[in-house]
Chains A and B, each alone.
Chain A
């Protein structure tokens, strides 16, 4: 999982500069910043506003609009559990609620050791194998309680 590098303005500026040749570079830059630092720090938002010649408020508005970007660090790993209709037709809602209760977590929260953040997702395109989940970039079909619990353990290890 990416996102281990400590933040520096200088590195942020490098990443921004590398994308300035694109038309409409904001999203590619934000993805790159988050891949590097694990989140999009306020200082990076300031650097982006400077580079793109827009106000910080406007830049902040962009960052906060999208579910993917976060302005504070998340867990080292992310588990996205699908809550959309197809997965619900196979009992996803009950399974997810029980999972969250077992681990004393709520949607969007991170385990106390900082290893795993659990997020809802609305369809992963794996609906023929509902219920499903995405662990970092690894898709999982027909996900069950046992697998979810194993992922919590796996996240702790690394």
Chain B
């Protein structure tokens, strides 16, 4: 029986993967052929979605982007044995875009059936957890610390140190919370891993729970991801049925369970303390720190809050050893980063590589430049709170410190490319507007400052006292940066200031326009 893979990934579904799968099943039945359709995760070559893969003796041959209307011609062309067809991209593992990567966190994503515990185990799943049980909790934390893994949710805080703080905090209950709020524009790696390899996240959570002597894990998922909710809930149930969740996991004496919670459309709930408030059933208002969630977290108990990618990388670190991971990367940015390439690009998708690759190589070589064919003008790196980086900084290596040195951030690893038609004054205005819409309202610089920011940019756009208002805007940014409680208000100035710094001409339109 021929095995066919068609992704269930939300981006693939958005491009017609469900209709494609139905059409393939129907056509096969009409031809009296028996096939097995596996709904896998995405391989990350999103411009090829939906990507059908067929298992052949030579490897998995891909066809994409395949629409339901292509199905008849695919069967005609003998795609079940890897036949020639205009959509044939050859063996997927041999594709240059795949071959350049170093897949670590995403090693199984798109390869296995995400809801098969047996396949997960056949591809190294739960090896890390078994090793964790052998090592014992303190050694697990040490292993995570030595790997150099830093939180992938944006701030880049060392994961091992966070876990140790929670483990050392005296308490009768400790929690593991996974931040799956992924609200940043240009990011989708959390979504992809939760759809394509959800058991790796569950395994990471169990390892964390074991290491910190935690009793329960929560995953807080944004409501904008309905496909993820379905897949991840099913994965929890599969793991529980197989005895990897619940009491006395595989005879280890360790009890742990995971529960999925859905957010309700608030960007600020990605901020860890706001997320905890929301999980407790309150308004998602940011808490003042200290106390840190590691000391006083969910329901007042010590809590690890980690991003999906941080947690899903843990099993591989335990499996391969800390050194293997720490040997990758540059400077203090160890390991790999799943880059999310988006916006106006030819080849958008998920590309996992070691830290240190220059920004220009990502945009020009990997992403293939713009989809519109026009020159690149700016790349926003790290989500809506990230800076706009101009082409003149394309030598910048992808590394936490190198970006920080240029008043930029890498955040969650999302890159949004803009061509030369973008108006940076408008994007700066949008950044302020977004902050105003999503502000939790607790502090004045963010709540009021963002609205004043929009007004000031509108004045600049009308040519009203331009230089004076630009000074005012800079001053406002300064106040927000240093007077805000959390990074929503504190980082909203990054896109604005970077737009002002690198694209000053967009803020100083010719007088003719201003006179209108």
* A-side contacts of B349, CB under 8 Å: 128
**Contact of B416 (CB < 8 Å), options: A25, A86, A124, A141:** A86
A61 vs B384: C-alpha distance when bound (angstroms): 27
Using A24-B299, A30-B264, A86-B185 as known contacts, say yes or no to A125 and B10 having CB atoms under 8 A apart: yes
A123 vs B385: C-alpha distance when bound (angstroms): 14
Question: Does more than half of chain B's interface fall in helix, strand or loop, or is it mixed?
Answer: mixed
Contact A27 B14 (CB under 8 A): no
**Contact of B191 (CB < 8 Å), options: A27, A67, A125:** A125
Instruction: Tell me, rounded to whole Å, the shortest Cβ–Cβ distance linking A106 to chain B.
Output: 15
Say yes or no for A148: interface residue by CB 8 A criterion.
no
A31 vs B265: C-alpha distance when bound (angstroms): 11
Using A67-B264, A123-B183, A127-B348 as known contacts, say yes or no to A88 and B342 having CB atoms under 8 A apart: no
Say yes or no for A126: interface residue by CB 8 A criterion.
yes
Which residues of B from 321 to 350 have beta carbons under 8 Å from A? 340-345, 348-349
* A-side contacts of B46, CB under 8 Å: 128-129
Instruction: Tell me, rounded to whole Å, the shortest Cβ–Cβ distance linking B219 to chain A.
Output: 13
* B-side contacts of A134, CB under 8 Å: 224, 226
Best-surrounded residue of A89, A126, A137, A138 (most CB of chain B within 10 A) = A89
Say yes or no for A152: interface residue by CB 8 A criterion.
no
Say yes or no for A110: interface residue by CB 8 A criterion.
no
Which candidate, B67-75, B80-88, B113-121, B275-283, is the interface stretch facing chain A? B275-283
| CB closest residue in chain A, given B378 | A89
Contact A129 B15 (CB under 8 A): yes
**Contact of A129 (CB < 8 Å), options: B11, B262, B266, B278:** B11
Say yes or no for B105: interface residue by CB 8 A criterion.
no
* A-side contacts of B285, CB under 8 Å: 65
Which residues of B from 380 to 421 have beta carbons under 8 Å from A? 380, 384, 414, 416-419
| CB closest residue in chain A, given B347 | A128
Using A27-B261, A127-B187 as known contacts, say yes or no to A85 and B225 having CB atoms under 8 A apart: no
* B-side contacts of A117, CB under 8 Å: none
Using A86-B185, A86-B186 as known contacts, say yes or no to A127 and B343 having CB atoms under 8 A apart: yes
Contact B47 A65 (CB under 8 A): no
Contact B281 A89 (CB under 8 A): no
Contact string against A for B residues 138-159, beta-carbon threshold 8 Å, 1 for contact and 0 otherwise: 0000000000000000000000
Say yes or no for B182: interface residue by CB 8 A criterion.
yes
Contact B283 A65 (CB under 8 A): yes
* B-side contacts of A132, CB under 8 Å: 14
Using A123-B184, A139-B227 as known contacts, say yes or no to A129 and B430 having CB atoms under 8 A apart: no
Say yes or no for B427: interface residue by CB 8 A criterion.
yes
- Count residues of A near B (Cβ-Cβ below 8 Å): 43
A26 vs B263: C-alpha distance when bound (angstroms): 11
Say yes or no for B434: interface residue by CB 8 A criterion.
yes
Using A26-B282, A141-B14 as known contacts, say yes or no to A121 and B343 having CB atoms under 8 A apart: no
* B-side contacts of A84, CB under 8 Å: 185, 384, 434
Say yes or no for A68: interface residue by CB 8 A criterion.
yes
**Contact of B262 (CB < 8 Å), options: A31, A67, A124, A126:** A31
Which residues of A from 110 to 158 have beta carbons under 8 Å from B? 121-130, 132, 134, 137-142
Contact A122 B434 (CB under 8 A): yes
Contact B343 A90 (CB under 8 A): yes
Say yes or no for A28: interface residue by CB 8 A criterion.
yes
A26 vs B282: C-alpha distance when bound (angstroms): 8
* A-side contacts of B11, CB under 8 Å: 125-126, 128-129, 139, 141
Using A27-B278, A65-B284 as known contacts, say yes or no to A126 and B14 having CB atoms under 8 A apart: yes
Which residues of B from 11 to 44 have beta carbons under 8 Å from A? 11, 13-15
Instruction: Tell me, rounded to whole Å, the shortest Cβ–Cβ distance linking A39 to chain B.
Output: 13
Say yes or no for B126: interface residue by CB 8 A criterion.
no
**Contact of A128 (CB < 8 Å), options: B188, B427, B438:** B188
Contact A85 B10 (CB under 8 A): no
Say yes or no for A62: interface residue by CB 8 A criterion.
yes
Best-surrounded residue of A121, A122, A132 (most CB of chain B within 10 A) = A122
Using A122-B183, A127-B187 as known contacts, say yes or no to A89 and B384 having CB atoms under 8 A apart: no
* B-side contacts of A37, CB under 8 Å: none
Say yes or no for B267: interface residue by CB 8 A criterion.
yes
* A-side contacts of B188, CB under 8 Å: 125-128
Say yes or no for A23: interface residue by CB 8 A criterion.
yes
Say yes or no for B484: interface residue by CB 8 A criterion.
no
| CB closest residue in chain B, given A48 | B281
Using A84-B185, A84-B384, A122-B185 as known contacts, say yes or no to A128 and B281 having CB atoms under 8 A apart: no
Contact B10 A24 (CB under 8 A): no
Say yes or no for B364: interface residue by CB 8 A criterion.
no
A28 vs B380: C-alpha distance when bound (angstroms): 35
Instruction: Tell me, rounded to whole Å, the shortest Cβ–Cβ distance linking A102 to chain B.
Output: 22
**Contact of B341 (CB < 8 Å), options: A121, A125, A128, A140:** A128
Say yes or no for B469: interface residue by CB 8 A criterion.
no
Contact B14 A139 (CB under 8 A): yes
Contact A125 B224 (CB under 8 A): yes
Instruction: Tell me, rounded to whole Å, the shortest Cβ–Cβ distance linking B194 to chain A.
Output: 10
**Contact of A23 (CB < 8 Å), options: B182, B299, B342:** B299
A28 vs B223: C-alpha distance when bound (angstroms): 12
Contact A85 B384 (CB under 8 A): yes
By Cβ-Cβ distance, the 6 closest A-B pairs, closest first, are A26-B281, A128-B348, A127-B342, A67-B265, A66-B264, A84-B185
For the A-B complex with A66-B284, A123-B186 known, give 6 more contacts whose Cβ atoms are closer than 8 Å: A61-B283, A65-B284, A86-B416, A122-B267, A123-B183, A141-B14
A residues within 8 Å of B by Cβ? Answer: 22-28, 30-31, 52, 61-62, 65-69, 80, 84-90, 121-130, 132, 134, 137-142
Identify 19 residue pairs between A and B in the complex whose beta-carbon atoms are under 8 Å apart, listed by A's number: A62-B282, A67-B264, A67-B265, A84-B185, A85-B185, A89-B416, A90-B344, A122-B434, A124-B224, A125-B187, A126-B14, A127-B186, A127-B416, A128-B46, A128-B342, A130-B343, A139-B10, A139-B226, A140-B14
